[in-house]
Chains A and B, each alone.
Chain A
Amino acid sequence: MFDSAGRPENRAEVQNSVSTIAIGFARVLRGSGLSIPVSRVMLFVEALRLSGIDKRSSVYWSGRVTLLQDPEEILIYNHAFAVFWEGQRSKGIEVVMPPITVTLATDDPSQESIDNDAETNSPGPKVAVRFSRIETLKAKDFSDCSSGELRELHQLIGNLKFSSSRRASLRKRDAKKNNKKLNVSKSVRKAFETDGEPVYLKYSRKDTRPRRLVLLLDVSGSMEPYARALIRLAHAAVVGRADVEAFTVGTRLTRITRELASRDPDAALRSAADSVRDWSGGTRLGATLTEFNNEWGIRGYARGALLVILSDGWDRGSPDVLRTQMERLQRVTHRLIWVNPLKYTPGYAPLAQGMAAALPYTDEFIEGHSFDSLERLTEIIAS
């Protein structure tokens, strides 16, 4: 396992303290929001034994290569490392949990204490839902809905189905009929059963795969009435089908795919809300799109994908930046869909500078203010 040369004699003791320290450090990292499975901690302990704990560099890097899985985690790791190994070392392994600032109150309409409307609506007996009322509700602008209505709508959004438009895959699958290519290896293999006579021929054809769906949700202040519904929508998409990625854009870019992956919508939304730090902030659409393109989109996440931007197009940055980034995106995506809740407003014209700049590069420009419009979005995605 590990060499005995040059190791202290009271090895058991050293080992013990190494694992205690490692576990303590892992707890700090977990407290900072990283997910560290036990197997990784064991790996870290072994790494520390091999590379020693006498040098900062080897401890730092042993931890980094064993405990982390994504470059996004590096900043958090650095911070936790400084706190644990450099700041508080003398005090032993006190677990410090750096608070994560969350500005969002709650995202869950079932937690009634926060909403005023909820109090008036919820204690009363549940009104039997009549067809016409639901129909009206489905068409109603989210920003005009009471929180009781929103709750119903969120339920409906949660039930939306995201069937996939498909693309050709390079993977082959078996095929029965004549239209496909001869699968030579399978046919020959089959021929062995009949003394080398190719009696039964085997065919294959190209398989299809669901096209990746990427959702970019604007969570800036101007989108506030719609943000919750849109996050619900993203959750329904992430759990509802394969290969969906969700990001929030606002003043910064946050990937929320992992957070939304929980089946339980409330848990998923809470954890997504925790990770997004710029709820209801300003909009730097161009800047966050740049970040998306550089770090994720052009690299591969947006390539050949259906990309849906859910935003009102208000951007405090320069429209040129947004234009350039939309052009880049348009070149790599399969289809670029812009969902704008304001489009519904009578007399709406895409005058917001950002929207005007982005519009020429979108393949579809649709409304997103109500349940009906979101349902239409799922139809477009499926087509």
Chain B
Amino acid sequence: MFTNPESPTAVSESLSEHGYLSDAGLTTAVFLAMTMNRPLFLEGDPGVGKTELAKVLSTWTGGDLIRLQCYEGIDSAQALYEWDYPKQLLHLRASELLAKDETAGAAKESELYSEKFLIRRPLLQALDYQGAGIPVLLIDEIDRADDEFEAFLLEILSEFSVTIPELGQISAKKLPLVVITSNRTRDVHDALKRRCLYHWISHPTLEREIDILKLKAPDVGEVLSRQVAGAVQQMRSFGLFKPPGVAETIDWATALGKLGEAKLTEESLGATLGAVLKYREDQERVVSQGLGIILSAVSDV
């Protein structure tokens, strides 16, 4: 049985037990989100581990991870529930064929709007959660949805209940732990943010990133891990179009590991650059000015 943590330190320990290394800011945010039953609003560059956090939280709480990926035009039919109309129609036809007498026909109306024909979308799944543990509702990339959807979400998140006209009100028996992520492609409305705890996840420090590599890419050697983490830190200071995130660091270290490299050389760095830098301009920039700087900076680790 999952119980709320007693302190941010306990959060930090539990998260790292489940393979997520966090800093003081994030652990406090998670601690408060859990104890205060507030949604956690996470922003940060792509690849800093926003979605990953939700996944880890769900393994910790022992509940399901219920993910709602937002996109433009998403509406309640895709986010909350929808009636399975084709199935209803077939049911109607079938019962007409099977029973010619009037008595059988009368039951149809209530039958058609029963749970059997209800398609549960992520929000309803989270509100009506019957499984073990505490469910984690991940509302991913809310900035991709449009304003109309935000307003709708606001209503759900403030009440944690929903009324389906044909079935009645459904209220959450277990409040889900809500994690909302945004890449900041547009401003999310204040009204929504106000209900949440806000945390900006930044890139990890060198030491933290080395620890993350040890955890996430255990096959990669100690020296290489340190070098990769150091090189990525260097790259972030270059003013690139897209500075690499933690996800790229892990990818890159794994790639080098697969190639059987034990340490970073100019050759292996050049060959695997595509795993860490995804813009042609960034690659050119690092190749033309940076390879030497990076290598000399990480040679003595």
Contacts and interface: CB of A to CB of B under 8 A. Distances in A.
Judge: A and B partners, yes or no.
Answer: yes
A172 B29 CA distance: 37
Given A170-B71, A171-B72, A300 B186 contact: yes
Contact of A47 (B32, B184, B194, B239): B32
Nearest to A52: B7
A58 interface: yes
B237 to A, nearest CB: 13
Contacts of A46: 36
Max chain A Cβ within 10 angstroms of own Cβ: one of B25, B32, B239: B32
A169 B186 contact: no
A191 B92 CA distance: 11
A64 interface: yes
Contact of B92 (A62, A66, A196): A196
Given A65-B28, A170-B72, A300-B143, A50 B36 contact: yes
A283 to B, nearest CB: 19
Contacts of B197: 43, 65-66
B85 A185 contact: yes
A293 B239 CA distance: 11
Contacts of B160: none
Nearest to A72: B200
Max chain B Cβ within 10 angstroms of own Cβ: one of A51, A57, A61, A66: A61
A303 B281 CA distance: 19
A106 interface: no
Contacts of A328: 241
A91 B24 CA distance: 28
Chain B: interface size category: 35 or more
B183 A299 contact: yes
B164 to A, nearest CB: 14
A246 to B, nearest CB: 12
A125 interface: no
B89 A171 contact: no
Interface in B185-232: 185-187, 190, 193-194, 197-200
Contact of A189 (B71, B85, B183): B85
Interface in A88-105: none
A61 B194 contact: no
Interface string B42-82: 01000000000000000000000000000111010100001
A46 B35 CA distance: 10
A170 B143 CA distance: 15
A298 interface: yes
A61 B29 contact: yes
A159 interface: no
A66 B35 CA distance: 13
Contacts of B24: 57, 61
Given A50-B35, A58-B28, A171 B96 contact: no
A222 to B, nearest CB: 26
Nearest to B146: A171
Contacts of A58: 8, 28
A191 B29 CA distance: 50
Contact of B185 (A184, A294, A301): A301
Contacts of A298: 241
Contact of A65 (B25, B71, B93, B190): B25
B88 interface: yes
A69 interface: yes
A188 interface: yes
A94 B28 CA distance: 27
A324 interface: yes
Contact of A188 (B89, B143, B200, B241): B89
Max chain B Cβ within 10 angstroms of own Cβ: one of A40, A50, A301: A50
Contact of A185 (B82, B143, B241): B82
A212 B185 CA distance: 12
Interface string A283-307: 0000000100110001111010000
Contacts of B73: 169-172
B112 interface: yes
A184 B85 contact: yes
A56 to B, nearest CB: 10
Contacts of B96: 196
Contact of B28 (A51, A69, A212): A51
B151 to A, nearest CB: 13
B101 interface: no
A23 interface: no
Interface in B86-114: 86, 88-89, 92-93, 96, 112
B32 A69 contact: no
Contacts of A37: 194
A383 interface: no
A73 to B, nearest CB: 9
Interface of B: 6-8, 24-25, 28-29, 31-32, 35-36, 38, 43, 71-73, 75, 77, 82-83, 85-86, 88-89, 92-93, 96, 112, 143, 146, 148, 183-187, 190, 193-194, 197-200, 239, 241, 281
18 contacts: A2-B35, A37-B194, A51-B28, A51-B32, A57-B28, A58-B8, A58-B28, A61-B25, A65-B28, A65-B197, A71-B200, A170-B72, A171-B73, A185-B82, A185-B83, A185-B85, A192-B92, A299-B184
The 6 A-B residue pairs whose C-beta atoms are closest, nearest first, are A300-B185, A170-B73, A61-B28, A188-B85, A171-B73, A65-B29
